[in-house]
Amino acid sequence: MYRDFDIGTAKPSIQERQQVPHYLIDICAPTQTLTLAEYQEQAQDWIAQFHRQGMLPLLVGGTGLYIRSIVQGLQIPPVSPQPELRSQLQGLGQAQIYSWLRQVDPVAAEKIHPRDQVRTLRALEVFYVTGSPMSQQQGERRPGYPILHLGLDCPEPDALTQRIQRRTEQMFAAGWLAEVESLCQKYSSELSIFNTLGYREIKQHLLGEISLAQAQALTVLHTRQFAKRQRTWFRADSQIEWFDANHPSLLDMVWQRVQDFS
């Protein structure tokens, strides 16, 4: 979604976008923050437009909450990030702010791990901005159209590790280091997007904190950890139909399933 952040986000190439129309790419400047609610609104608008044209849109990606916001119709409090408030709360420590959350929104606190600072901050942020507990503002309004939910799995841990290593090597070979160095010069290296997977490790290298080899090894390690969390998240969804990502006939099988659905 963010402009200029191309290699590290595995953004579809210009050639790929010429072959198949892609949407919601390069829609936000890195200096801005696109909230989940804003993404949901834009995605739903595109989906409605495609349906009016009799087209079947494909929602593609691996970020669980963003997918869930569409397929389950999550009701999201329209509260944008509050950097100053978050900074003040962070300075108090996780134990203190989680204790506050248990007081002002015990329902939300029950669903958030005591050490999960990101979700704790978000719940308090919503409460302080709106004056109402986040748990009372959430819910679901499922879409009225049918959804085919497909997942690609790599059941062999060693095969998954090899794919991650190969992908990381390809991204570095494609100029990922130069991309991050250029972006740090063009924008402030303090942007929150530089704390995302891979960009964070390369920034550490550029700051002289770790070697390039360490940056690459840490990117592989942290990607493996992220993939494990993703697998746990998506495995909890019984609506997903799974396909082996390593199957030689993967594309044919998935395409046939899409045709059967449509």
pLDDT surpasses 90 at 79: no
Average pLDDT, stretch 23-29? 94
Q: Where are the beta strands (DSSP E) in 34-137?
A: 74-75
Question: Pairing state of beta strands 74-75 and 139-140?
Answer: antiparallel
Q: Model confidence at 105, in pLDDT bands (50, 70, 90)?
A: very high
Q: What is the pLDDT of residues 157-193, one digit of tens each?
A: 899 999 999 999 999 999 999 999 999 999 988 888 8
Phi, psi for residue 28 in degrees, rounded to 5? -145, 140
Average pLDDT, stretch 244-255? 95
Average pLDDT, stretch 7-15? 93
CATH number of 83-137: 1.10.20.140
> Top-level CATH class of 157-235?
mainly alpha
Tell me which DSSP letter residue 240 carries.
P
Based on the number of CB atoms within 10 Å of its own CB, is 217 exposed (0-12), middle (13-18) or buried (19 or more)?
Answer: middle
Instruction: Return d(Cα 215, Cα 198) in angstroms, integer.
Output: 8
Q: Model confidence at 6, in pLDDT bands (50, 70, 90)?
A: very high
Average pLDDT, stretch 92-110? 95
pLDDT of residue 76: 84
pLDDT of residue 168: 97
Question: Pairing state of beta strands 241-244 and 150-153?
Answer: parallel
Where are the domains positioned within the chain?
Answer: 83-137, 157-235
Give kind and range of the element (H or E) at residue 153.
strand 150-153
Q: Please give the mean pLDDT across all residues of the chain.
A: 92
Average pLDDT, stretch 122-150? 91
Average pLDDT, stretch 102-109? 94
- Residues of the chain with pLDDT > 90, as a percent, come to 76
The model carries a pTM of 0.81
Q: What is the pLDDT of residues 62-78, one digit of tens each?
A: 788 899 999 999 988 87
Residue carrying structure tokens 């991650």:
164
Give kind and range of the element (H or E) at residue 124.
helix 117-130
pLDDT of residue 21: 93
Using CA atoms, how far residue 16 sits from 11, 12, 13, 137, in Å, is: 10, 6, 5, 40
pLDDT of residue 35: 84
pLDDT surpasses 80 at 241: yes
Q: Model confidence at 148, in pLDDT bands (50, 70, 90)?
A: very high
pLDDT of residue 140: 85
pLDDT of residue 34: 85
